[in-house]
Amino acid sequence: MNREDTMKKPGTFPRLIKMLFRFNPTLLPIIIALILISAVIGALPSIFQQKVVAVLEQAWSHGWDWAATRPQILHYVLVLAGLYLCGLSITTLSNQLGAIYTQRVLDQFRKTIFTHMETLPIRYFDTHQRGDIMSHYTNDVDAMRQMVSQSFPQLLVSLITVLTILCIMMYYSVWLGLVIIGGAVVTIFLTRTIGGKSAHFFMAQQKFVGRTEGVIEEMINGQKVIKVFNHEQEAQAEFDDANNALCEAAFQANRYSNTLMPILNNVNYLVYVLVAVAGGLFLELGVPNLSISGLPFSIAVIVPFLGMCRQFSGAIQQISPQINSVVMGLAGAKRVFALLDEEPEQDEGYVDLVYAEEVDGELQEASEKTGLWAWKHFHKENGTTTYVPLKGDVRFFDVDFAYNPDKVILHNITLYGKPGQKIAFVGATGAGKTTITNLINRFYDIADGKIRYDGININKIRKPSLRRSLGMVLQDTVLFTGTVMDNIRYGRLDATDEECIQAAKLSGADSFITLLPQGYQTMLAGDGSNLSQGQCQLLAIARAAVADPPVMILDEATSSIDTRTEQIVSAGMDALMQGRTVFVIAHRLSTVKNANVILVLDHGKIIERGTHEELLAAKGQYYQLYTGAFELE
**Alpha-carbon dihedral sign for residues 585, 586, 589, 593:** negative
412 and 391 Cβ atoms separated by less than 8 Å = no
User: What per-residue confidence (pLDDT) applies to 535?
Assistant: 83
d(CA 515, CA 104): 45
For residue 628, report the phi and psi dihedrals to the nearest 5 degrees: 85, 5
Question: How far does the chain reach from its first CA to its final CA, in angstroms?
Answer: 38
Task: Please determine, looking at this structure, whether the domain spanning 9-340 carries the CATH number 3.30.465.10.
Answer: no
Closest to 172 measured CA to CA, from 41, 53, 306, 294: 294
Measured CA angle at 22 (ends 17, 25), to 5 deg = 105
Which parts of the chain have pLDDT scores under 50?
1-7, 631-633
Burial of 151 from C-beta contacts in 10 A (0-12 / 13-18 / 19+): buried
d(CA 117, CA 98): 28
The answer to whether the 9-340 and 394-627 domains have the same CATH topology is: no
User: What per-residue confidence (pLDDT) applies to 606?
Assistant: 92
Residue 111, sorted as left (phi over 0), alpha (psi -120 to 50) or beta, turns out to be alpha
How many other CB atoms sit within 10 Å of the CB of residue 343?
Answer: 13
User: What per-residue confidence (pLDDT) applies to 632?
Assistant: 46
Q: Which residues contact 625 (CB under 8 A, 6 or more apart)?
A: 426, 589, 600, 632
d(CA 130, CA 117): 12
User: What per-residue confidence (pLDDT) applies to 319?
Assistant: 75
User: What per-residue confidence (pLDDT) applies to 462?
Assistant: 93
User: What per-residue confidence (pLDDT) applies to 82?
Assistant: 84
Burial 473-490 (b: 16+ CB within 10 A, else e): bbbebebeeeebbbbbbb
Closest to 612 measured CA to CA, from 411, 251, 604, 620: 620
Closest to 469 measured CA to CA, from 378, 542, 551: 551
User: What per-residue confidence (pLDDT) applies to 631?
Assistant: 47
User: What per-residue confidence (pLDDT) applies to 571?
Assistant: 67
Kindly report each contact of residues 105-108 with a partner whose C-beta sits within 8 Å and lies 24 or more positions away, as own/partner: 105/20, 105/23, 105/24, 105/148, 106/141, 106/144, 106/145, 106/148, 108/23
**Alpha-carbon dihedral sign for residues 564, 570, 571, 576:** positive
d(CA 558, CA 181): 77
Helices 563-576 and 533-546: crossing angle, nearest 10°? 0
Q: Which residues contact 15 (CB under 8 A, 6 or more apart)?
A: 9, 333, 337
| DSSP string for residues in 394-440 | EEEEEEEEEEETTEEEEEEEEEEE-TT-EEEEEESTTSSHHHHHHHH
One-letter-per-residue 3-state SS of 165-218: HHHHHHHHCHHHHHHHHHHHHHHHHHHHHHHHHHHHHHHHHHHHHHHHHHHHHH
143 and 329 Cβ atoms separated by less than 8 Å = yes
User: What per-residue confidence (pLDDT) applies to 459?
Assistant: 92
In tens, the pLDDT along 124-180 reads 888 888 878 888 888 888 888 888 888 888 888 888 888 888 888 888 788 888 888
In tens, the pLDDT along 80-139 reads 788 888 888 998 998 899 888 888 888 888 889 999 988 998 888 888 888 788 888 888
Q: Say how many residues make up the chain.
A: 633
Query: Helical H runs in 27-65?
Result: 27-43, 45-61
d(CA 577, CA 575): 6
Domain boundaries, the chain: 9-340, 352-389, 394-627
**CATH homologous superfamily of domain 394-627?**
P-loop containing nucleotide triphosphate hydrolases (3.40.50.300)
